Amino acid sequence: MTVAIGVVGCAGRMGRMAIQEVLATEGCVLAGGTEAPGDHVGSDLGPLVGVDAIGVTIGDDPIALFSSSDAVIDFTVPAATRIHASAAEETGTAFVVGTTGLGPEDQTAIESAAQNAPIVQAPNFSIGVNLLFALTKKVAAKLNPDYDIEILEMHHRHKVDAPSGTALGIGQAAAVGRAVPLDDVARYAREGQTGPRTTGEIGFATLRGGGVIGDHTVMFSNEAERLELTHKASSRGIFAGGAVRAALWLQGKKPGLYGMADVLGLD
């Protein structure tokens, strides 16, 4: 079976990586790509990723792309992802969501779409990062609350949201391991006279600079020892590869909201 995969935001950094991964993956064919009106629209997708023309052009109509695709990959921005979620809901097309920095309204749109389309949503599509999520959950469940949990992340200077979606995913995994809501225990910033650290708190620290693709560390510390789990990305290709894997996995799945843990069988 050949799976036709479309890419929204195809001219962006991750969009181009997704196109390259689709073209390189056996059993996949590129259904098309979309961009904002006037931005690369009408151009062939091949030269966009450094190859000869492939006879597939960039469009600006998400509904048309979703209608002609078996699955669509989205690494865009929240406002665009809301539009794409509506397209998935209308067409029932499998949808892979890698957009981060989503607000409640954006998440509601995705969950609504999942009633009519199978969707994989993840803060990070790297296989290694998703193993980090699973390990974090397990370690947090085994260590008692006198082990403080701190999450440190660093990304390139151009990243617009903080903490990263991956850092929030790590925090969520730790909170699930401890059976507490993340919103009740998260501490996103410290400045000035903060007082002693609160027991059970899950802290976040954010660094930005240079061209760092993504470094994440979760630390479990008490008075006697510290355990650190770290993942460092050296290529964005790992995210595109995971997204294509998710798109293939979604074929034949019932409508619903899935995660990479489902794709990888980690649960």
Domains annotated on the chain, with CATH: 3-125+236-264 (3.40.50.720), 127-233 (3.30.360.10)
Per-residue confidence band for 38, with pLDDT thresholds at 50, 70 and 90: confident
Structure tokens at 120: 């994989």
Per-residue confidence band for 100, with pLDDT thresholds at 50, 70 and 90: confident
Mean pLDDT taken over the chain:
95
pTM for the whole structure: 0.84
CA–CA distances in Å: residue 3 to residues 16, 59, 87:
18, 20, 19
Burial of 72 (0-12, 13-18, 19+ CB in 10 A): buried
The residue behind tokens 């974090």 is: 136
Active site residues: 155, 159
Contact 171, 182 (CB under 8 A): yes
pLDDT digits (tens, 9 = 90+) for 177-211: 999 999 999 999 999 999 999 999 999 999 999 99
In the predicted structure, residue 267 carries a pLDDT above the cut 80: no
Euclidean distance between CA atoms 123 and 130, whole angstroms: 9
Burial of 47 (0-12, 13-18, 19+ CB in 10 A): exposed
pLDDT digits (tens, 9 = 90+) for 211-224: 999 999 999 999 99
User: What's the pLDDT score for residue 133?
Assistant: 95
Per-residue confidence band for 123, with pLDDT thresholds at 50, 70 and 90: confident
Euclidean distance between CA atoms 124 and 165, whole angstroms: 7
Contact 152, 207 (CB under 8 A): yes
